[in-house]
Amino acid sequence: MSSSGRDNEHQLVGVVGAGVMGVGVAQSLSQNDHRVILVDVSDAVLDRARAELRNNLRTMVLFGGDRSIDIDATLDRVHFTTDYDALGAVDFLVENVTEEWETKREVYRRIDTICKPETVFAVNTSAISITRVGGVTNRPERVVGTHFMNPVPVKPMVEVIRGFHTTDETIDETTRFLAGMGKECTVVQDSPGFVSNRVLMLTINEAIFLVQDGVAEPKAVDRIFRTCFSHQMGPLETADMIGLDTILKSVEVLYESFNDDKYRPAPLLKKMVDAGLHGRKSGRGFYVYR
């Protein structure tokens, strides 16, 4: 990926959470010459993240044909650490921890005391209210939603969410920051699930009900969406890519937020998550990988 589209200087960026999304965000930033401090809870997770990042870059060079990527230099710009205090120096922070309110709340309480008052906190979440996140910090005007799409390095667009207190200045800064990662964005108002996931999560959950009810096999469901509607992926393939645990948590957030039965999670989704079938990242979901 080139650094074209960059219109701000290189920054020191904090990325909290080194799972599926955190690794993708760190990769996109580093490929656009930003330096990154990537924080997670254990060295084991960070070792896996480093290996995944190297693997992603190698795949882009070997199979994507992008010979401009310097794998070692890109990795060198990412500092992998469990030390939250390293975030004290960052200009901008993208948070990508597990989709659980309690987990996110504790992370924001912590980073609010460590980071500079002017640092923008960009919340990467599937469904959690940005206003709610802003409310646990002393800088709600500097808290903004950045709903990145998966896989981050290849998706051109980010859904940006304006919380109740988010200022125009923060939105402008975020737009420039994303341009510096080669991303365009669309700004929407704060509401659980925003635009994308209020529709997508409901669609995926309903597709899971169809499988559970024996109406169609996963392959048939996905084929209908691919062939009839020209979608690049069907809802169940998409669910496997996102992670079924993340899907379940997102649907639960929508259910709790709207108090509306239409968001009740499919029992089959719960069962699969309990069984450890989390999709691509665990090797099995609606399909088997590896």
Give 49-82 as a DSSP string.
Answer: HHHHHHHHHHHHHHTS--TT--HHHHHHTEEEES
Q: Quick count: other Cβ atoms within 10 Å of Cβ 281?
A: 18
Residue 61 touching ligand NAD (CB under 6 A): no
What residues numbered 248-287 form the site for ligand NAD, per CB under 6 A? 250
Rounded to a whole number of angstroms, the minimum distance from the CB of residue 47 to ligand NAD is: 12
- Paired strand residues for 94: 15, 122
Residue 19 touching ligand NAD (CB under 6 A): yes
Token pair belonging to 14: 């904090």
Rounded to a whole number of angstroms, the minimum distance from the CB of residue 79 to ligand NAD is: 14
Among 2-10, 147-155, 256-264, 269-277, the segment contacting ligand NAD (CB under 6 A):
147-155
Rank residues 109 and 215 by Cβ distance to ligand NAD and give the closer one: 109
- At residue 162, the 3 state secondary structure works out as strand
Among 11-19, 56-64, 172-180, 186-194, the segment contacting ligand NAD (CB under 6 A):
11-19
Member of 81, 150, 167, 191 binding ligand NAD (CB under 6 A): 150
Rounded to a whole number of angstroms, the minimum distance from the CB of residue 213 to ligand NAD is: 26
Member of 125, 131, 146, 170 binding ligand NAD (CB under 6 A): 125
Tally the residues of the chain. Answer: 290
CA distances from 15 to 123, 214, 221 (A): 10, 42, 36
Is the CB of residue 199 less than 8 Å from the CB of residue 238? no
Rounded to a whole number of angstroms, the minimum distance from the CB of residue 58 to ligand NAD is: 20
Member of 8, 11, 103, 167 binding ligand NAD (CB under 6 A): 103
Is the CB of residue 61 less than 8 Å from the CB of residue 67? yes
Among 30-38, 118-126, 181-189, 225-233, the segment contacting ligand NAD (CB under 6 A):
118-126
Member of 246, 266, 280, 286 binding ligand NAD (CB under 6 A): 246
Nearest-angstrom CA–CA distance, 261 and 264 = 5
Q: Is the dihedral of CA 277, 229, 263, 186 positive or negative?
A: positive
Closest CA to 94 of 42, 26, 11, 45: 26
Task: By CB under 6 A, name the binding residues for ligand NAD.
Answer: 16-22, 39-41, 45, 96-99, 103, 107, 124-126, 147-148, 150, 242-243, 246, 250
